[in-house]
């Protein structure tokens, strides 16, 4: 059966999570980032994810904006960066992350093909609204679904349930697209058809669920046999 609904993870899949640190490093007033922004961005993202997993496991939920701030604080502290203006600028830029170059066209073409398009994200509603608006994607998405509707982060199956509840579709009617290997594995175990956008060429995670497709960019979705 053909896919009816294409659902995308947001951060790292549609939006470039390294963009905030990269842009901040171009500011002469934030020269402390010039040689370390890439490592800071990687640690920031890693801690952001780790904190979301730990909060899900321990049932100590907070919204993803708090997790994002906590991850940045750890990454800055690890490098001895104590600049409040730097922190403020990095957080501001995170609300305005660049979308990957192919995103707008891929979403538009999927909708032309009659597919529903949506975001399913750990992001809080305000974060997602800012990112979608900043990237000019508002008219290319049928829904932006946040885990805040249920108060637990991915990879809880309760999060993936939100897709069926919103669109009234079966898991096998959904193509779930993520750049995160752990998210792709969890979505595959849930029953979605899954495309893992493996931009970095990472090994496949050793998890029960395995992606149906491994892509290097989002444009390749348009060539899949089940679209």
Per-residue tokens: 83: 């600049």
Provide DSSP, 63-105: -HHHHHHHHHHHHHHHTT---HHHHHHHHHHHTTPPBPTTHHH
Q: What is the pLDDT of residue 165?
A: 98
* Domain final position from 49, 64, 94: 94
Q: Is 9 a catalytic residue?
A: yes
How do residues 176-221 score in pLDDT, each as one tens digit?
999 999 999 999 999 999 999 999 999 999 999 999 999 999 999 9
115-134 pLDDT, tens digit per residue, is 999 999 999 999 999 999 99
Name the domain count of the chain: 2
Same domain, 108 and 183: yes
**Band of pLDDT at residue 1, cut at 50, 70 and 90:** confident
| Pair 102, 210 in one domain | yes
Query: Residue 85's domain is classified under what CATH number?
Result: 1.10.150.240
Q: Which of 9, 16, 70, 183 is catalytic?
A: 9
For the chain, percent of residues with pLDDT exceeding 90: 97
Indicate if 172 and 192 belong to the same structural domain: yes
Are residues 79 and 106 located together in one domain of the fold? no
Residues 69 and 131 in one domain: no
Same domain? 175 vs 109? yes
Confidence of residue 2 (pLDDT cuts 50, 70, 90): confident
The average confidence (pLDDT) of the chain is 97
Task: Give the distance from CA 102 to its chain's centroid.
Answer: 15
Domain CATH code at residue 189: 3.40.50.1000
Domain boundary among 94, 124, 142: 94
The per-residue pLDDT for range 139-155, each reduced to its tens digit, is 999 999 999 999 999 99
Structural domain including 55 reads 19-94
């Amino acid at each position: 059966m053909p896919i009816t609904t294409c659902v995308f993870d947001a951060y790292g899949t549609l939006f470039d999570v390294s963009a905030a640190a990269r842009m901040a490093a171009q500011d002469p007033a934030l020269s402390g980032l010039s040689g370390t922004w890439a490592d800071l961005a990687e640690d920031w993202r890693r801690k952001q994810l780790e904190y979301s997993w730990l909060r899900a496991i321990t049932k100590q939920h907070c919204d993803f904006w708090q997790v994002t701030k906590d991850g940045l604080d750890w990454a800055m502290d690890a490098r001895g960066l104590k600049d409040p203006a730097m922190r403020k600028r990095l957080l501001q830029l995170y609300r305005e992350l660049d979308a990957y170059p192919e995103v707008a066209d891929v979403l538009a073409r999927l909708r032309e093909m009659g597919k529903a398009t949506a975001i399913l994200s750990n992001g809080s509603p305000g974060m997602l609204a800012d990112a979608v608006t900043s990237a000019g994607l508002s008219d290319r998405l049928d829904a932006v679904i946040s885990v805040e509707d249920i108060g637990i982060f991915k990879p809880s199956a309760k999060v993936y349930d939100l897709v069926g509840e919103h669109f009234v579709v079966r898991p096998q009617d959904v193509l779930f697209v993520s750049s995160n290997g752990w998210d792709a594995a969890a979505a595959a175990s849930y029953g979605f058809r899954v495309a893992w956008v493996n931009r970095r060429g990472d090994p496949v995670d050793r998890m029960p669920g395995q992606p149906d497709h491994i892509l290097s960019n989002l444009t390749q979705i348009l060539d899949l046999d089940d679209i």
